[in-house]
Amino acid sequence: MAGPAHSLALTGRTQFEIPFCFGISFIRHGESVGNKLGVVQGHKDYPLSTLGIAQSQHLGHNSVTNLRVSHVFSSDLSRSLKTAEIVCSCLGNAPPIVLDQRLRERSFGELEGQRLDQFRIELRNSGVHMSEFKPPGGETTADVRARAAAFLEDLFNGLKKFEKEREAAVKADKPGYFMEYQVPCGTSYSPTPGSPNEILTASVLIFAHGGWIREALIYLEQKYHICTEAQRSQITAVAPCGGVSTLTFKMTDSKTTGNCLWLHSVYHVSDSQRPRTSKIAALARSRSAQARKPFASQFSSPV
């Protein structure tokens, strides 16, 4: 069954008191030419490298083949959008990819395109912490977190409206909506089998950048306490290229609770010639989801 072309309006509020569950997966783009060159990227639009294309292909085949998702969002920068296009070609349905500039990486203004070693010199000379460093035309981490928060609040409000529409369509046996959706690398998540309130009735894929995903996760942890103690120490790490972090939420109009299933999991195995990333992939395959939560991000590279 082909999926719907849902146009999720990220505005307004809809009263909703019946609990419903949904999943959100944050996916960092594959390796870009900028990653390969070792330069500061920010808003500068570097395409995927050959390795990044292969990573995205393997990520799609290994984690989302025939998966049902309700919505897909991406940064408008090409390294993120191309990753989304490649990965989503493996989905079991085909929701449109909605572009949003709020998902862009942290801007480093005039320093974008510089080599990372030169950037570190500029940072050291500024005398401030990386989070507060603001080159001309650039952003602090607080600026990025504010962007992420605005997007996520609009998303949560839009999902309430979507659930109302989905529930009415399913009851009326109208085409274009599913009874349940799924998150990457697994079937539909149901911690209490048989409980209808634990079926995911929406699943959102968000393709973005390492720095943005980190700030989004920190914001969600601060607001909803989504992480275990072990995970809490890992959300400040930058996801590896192609890393996937998946959360589930239960929502009413008055209360939202969340749960982090895994952080920075790596499902692509196309980079066997790169020992560090190959090591992540091997460990991710050999450990359970619970065991690898605090592990994979230890090998993360800087933005």
Catalytic residues: 29, 105
SS (H, E, C) the chain: CCCCCCCCCCCCCCCCCCCEEEEEEEEECCCEHHHHHCECCCCCCCCECHHHHHHHHHHHHHHCCCCCCCEEEECCCHHHHHHHHHHHCCCCCCCCEEECHHHCCCCEHHHCCCEHHHHHHHHHHHCCCHHHCCCCCECCHHHHHHHHHHHHHHHHHHHHHHHHHHHHHHHCCCCCCCCCCCCCCCCCCCCCCCCHHHCEEEEEEEEECHHHHHHHHHHHHHHHCCCCHHHHCCCCCCCCCCCEEEEEEEECCCCEEEEEEEEEECCCCCCCCCHHHHHHHHHHHHCCHHHHCCCHHHHCCCC
Q: Smallest Cα–Cα separation from 10: which of 145, 161, 180? A: 161
* Residues in binding site for substrate: 28-35, 79
